[in-house]
């Protein structure tokens, strides 16, 4: 791919940014109300964050089949499936709230996870038609589309979460509308239709197996660093609304803190790609891991509103550098015909660990010590071993006697 071919890539980036902004607005809305709705319906407070865990579990179990499906049938097909699943999931969750049924709420959350998985491939779709020079920027710009979602989602949620007699019912109905309206954006994408074309006799190389892909040091470390960056972000963010309200603040405060966090996740995307081009993905990932550590230190320093805001802003910034850096690193390490397998493997492992993190978040927050402060401290102390793991993996990668990003 030459730079002259980036006109198509830039058009696709524009469409994907709009999709991130409109359909992506549902994710901060769900992460604000999911734990609160769970706390309202669950018999055991330790299971309060289970609706969020089911979203992430849905994403984990979807990635292994939706990524190869996109390679065969094209990205658009997979993105449409994601949007339909998002609408169905929100509708089921709304029914669960209306019936005060925790299991039905969890079922809806699982379907939302199918949407979340499809949304995760927006960043890879941006890279599909981009030149080597534009690829990190394309990924970064698409992630920046979450900036509008960060503003739009929580503020929209303020208008609708208590607009009905049943708490949070309005949130999920609004998410149904976002999915049904936003899905038509995918008709504007100019992407390959997939490998299952009508061209008889055209065969696609088999490529490396999943185990062989994991033996590639660059792929392995990219997955580890993406996994740690996303899992720790989710671990802390999932508990944040519970911690904020448990420490005596309001639902509006929780919405505003999550909004600030999601802004911090996506504002840096306007320059993260440029930093990767200039300094390389490993250095940007390292910066992200350090900033995640700063987030934990800030959270442990106190439970004032300013501490919550600062910790969640650092958390978002660290996630941005760590996750986008890991995505860019992964994109350099596999052949085009291995795209579906490598990307599906990556997201399965990443979101598998995010599922565990979200499950652990509720237990740590509600069942560690006797106060919300104790639970919040436990959540943030849990970050330490995983940051050390990712840091060690990154140091090991750069010490190898081979170019980072090699497909060999």
CA distance 224 to 217: 10
CB 127 within 8 A of CB 135: yes
Task: Tell me if 403 is assigned to some domain.
Answer: no
| Confidence check: pLDDT of 146 > 60 | yes
pLDDT-derived band at 114 (thresholds 50, 70, 90) equals very high
Q: Is residue 276 part of a domain?
A: yes
Model confidence at 238: pLDDT above 90 = no
Residue 180 exposed, middle or buried by CB count within 10 Å (0-12, 13-18, 19+) = middle
Residue 315 has pLDDT above 60, yes or no: yes
Check residue 89 and give its pLDDT.
96
pLDDT at residue 401, as a whole number: 59
- Domain annotation covers residue 13: yes
User: Backbone phi, then psi, for 73, in 5-degree steps?
Assistant: -110, -10
Mean pLDDT for all residues in the chain: 85
CA distance 368 to 134: 46
Domain with 91 in it: what CATH number? 1.20.1250.20
345 vs 309: which has the higher pLDDT: 309
Residue range 154-209, pLDDT digits in tens? 788 888 887 888 888 999 999 999 999 999 999 998 877 765 443 444 454 566 77
pLDDT in tens, 335-370: 667 777 787 788 788 878 887 887 788 778 877 777
Out of 42-51, 252-261, 290-299, 334-343, the most confident range is 290-299
| E strands in 161-309 | none
pLDDT for position 195: 56
Domain span at residue 341 reads 3-191+210-398
Q: How many domains, in total, are found in the chain?
A: 1
pLDDT at 274 over 70: yes
Place of tokens 């690193």: 329
Residue 162 lies in a domain: yes
Percent of the chain with pLDDT over 90: 39
Give a yes or no: residue 203 inside a domain: no
406 found inside a domain = no
Q: Is the pLDDT of residue 3 over 50?
A: no
Q: Is residue 158 part of a domain?
A: yes
The secondary element (H helix, E strand) that includes residue 201 is none
Query: Do residues 75 and 125 lie in contact, with contact meaning Cβ atoms separated by under 8 Å?
Result: yes
- To the nearest 10 degrees (0 to 180), the angle between helices 50-73 and 102-120 is 40
The answer as to whether 197 is a domain residue is no
- What residues have CB less than 8 Å from 224, skipping those under 6 apart? 389, 390, 393
């Amino acid at each position: 791919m030459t730079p002259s071919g980036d006109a198509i890539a830039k058009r696709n980036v524009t469409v994907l940014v709009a999709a991130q902004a409109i359909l992506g607005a549902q994710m901060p809305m769900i992460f604000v109300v999911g734990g609160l709705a769970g706390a309202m319906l669950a018999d055991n407070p330790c299971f309060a964050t289970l609706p969020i865990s089911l979203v992430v579990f849905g994403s984990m179990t979807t990635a292994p089949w939706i990524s190869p499906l996109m390679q065969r049938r094209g990205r658009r097909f997979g993105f449409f499936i994601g949007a339909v699943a998002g609408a169905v999931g929100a509708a089921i969750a709304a029914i669960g709230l209306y019936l005060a049924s925790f299991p039905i709420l969890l079922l809806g959350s699982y379907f939302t996870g199918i949407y979340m998985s499809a949304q995760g491939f927006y960043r890879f779709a941006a890279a599909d038609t981009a030149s080597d020079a534009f690829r990190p920027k394309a990924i970064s710009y698409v992630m920046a589309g979450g900036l509008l979602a960060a503003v739009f989602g929580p503020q929209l949620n303020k208008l609708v979460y208590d607009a009905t007699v049943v708490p949070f019912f309005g949130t999920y109905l609004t998410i149904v509308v976002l999915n049904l309206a936003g899905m038509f954006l995918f008709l504007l994408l100019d992407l390959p239709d997939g490998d299952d074309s009508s061209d008889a006799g055209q065969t696609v190389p088999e490529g490396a197996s999943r185990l062989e892909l994991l033996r590639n040091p660059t792929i392995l470390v990219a997955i580890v660093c993406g996994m740690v960056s996303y899992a720790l972000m989710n671990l802390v963010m999932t508990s944040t609304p519970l911690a904020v309200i448990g420490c005596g603040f309001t639902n509006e405060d929780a919405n505003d803190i999550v909004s600030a966090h999601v802004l911090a996740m996506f504002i840096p995307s306007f320059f993260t790609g440029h930093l990767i081009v200039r300094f390389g993905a490993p250095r940007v990932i390292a910066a992200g891991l350090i900033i995640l550590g700063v987030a934990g230190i800030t959270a442990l320093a106190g439970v004032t509103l300013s501490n919550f805001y600062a910790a969640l802003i650092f958390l978002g910034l660290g996630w941005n550098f760590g996750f986008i850096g890991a995505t860019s690193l992964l994109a350099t390490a596999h052949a085009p015909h291995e795209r579906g397998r490598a990307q599906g493997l990556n997201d399965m492992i990443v979101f598998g660990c995010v599922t565990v993190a979200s499950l652990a978040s509720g237990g740590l927050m509600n069942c560690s010590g006797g106060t919300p402060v104790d639970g919040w401290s436990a959540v943030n102390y849990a970050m330490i071993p995983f940051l050390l793991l990712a840091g060690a993996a990154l140091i090991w990668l750069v010490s190898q006697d081979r170019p980072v990003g090699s497909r060999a």
